[in-house]
């Protein structure tokens, strides 16, 4: 049974880089897709991007210039880096195992989620 756990600093200063890691157990990150999602306080969910089994990545256009997702297969971890953060990046950040495909229909969904880690951007 796949489990995910986010980790990283809970406080980041404006203009600096937010770095989070997701540790996966019970499954290999060399299979499936792996996403990052965030949720500002009191607001809805926003998908950030994914890294998939071969190491390829895809990001939401609004964050594309500031975000990177990478992986360490030896540790079975994948990571999020968000540069030049502002208060608007304050949120709960989740990592999730993602299923994607085109047969028999086009589908993309997050079936296992981590518990989330809160990040505050403040000086």
Partner 1 sequence: QSVLTQPPSASGTPGQRVTISCSGSSSNIGRNTVNWYQQFPGTAPRLLIYRNNQRPSGVPVRFSGSKSGTSASLAISGLQSEDEADYYCAAWDDSLNGDVFGTGTEVTVL
Query: By the criterion CB under 8 A, which residues form the site for partner 1?
Result: 35, 37, 44-47, 49, 58-61, 94, 99, 105-116
Of 39, 51, 120, the C-alpha closest to 80 is: 51
* Rounded least distance, CB 99 to partner 1, Å: 8
d(CA 121, CA 50): 23
- Nearest approach in angstroms of CB 53 to partner 1 is 17
Q: Which residue, 24 or 112, has its beta carbon nearer to partner 1? A: 112
Nearer to partner 1, 13 or 107 (CB): 107
Q: Is 54 exposed, middle or buried, given 0-12, 13-18 or 19+ CB atoms closer than 10 A? A: exposed
Q: Taking the complex as a whole, how short is the minimal distance between the CB of residue 44 and partner 1, in angstroms?
A: 5
């Amino acid at each position: 049974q796949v489990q995910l756990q986010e980790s990283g600093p809970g406080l980041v200063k404006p203009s600096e880089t937010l770095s989070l890691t997701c540790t996966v157990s019970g499954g290999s990150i060399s299979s499936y897709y792996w996403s990052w999602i965030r949720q500002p306080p009191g607001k809805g969910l926003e998908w950030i991007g994914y890294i998939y089994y071969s190491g390829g990545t895809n990001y939401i256009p609004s964050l594309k210039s500031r975000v990177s997702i990478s992986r360490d297969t030896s540790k079975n971890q994948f990571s999020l880096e968000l540069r030049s953060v502002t208060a608007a990046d304050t949120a709960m950040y989740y990592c999730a195992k993602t299923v994607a495909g085109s047969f028999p229909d086009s589908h993309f969904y997050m079936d296992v989620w981590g518990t989330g880690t809160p990040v505050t951007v403040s000086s």
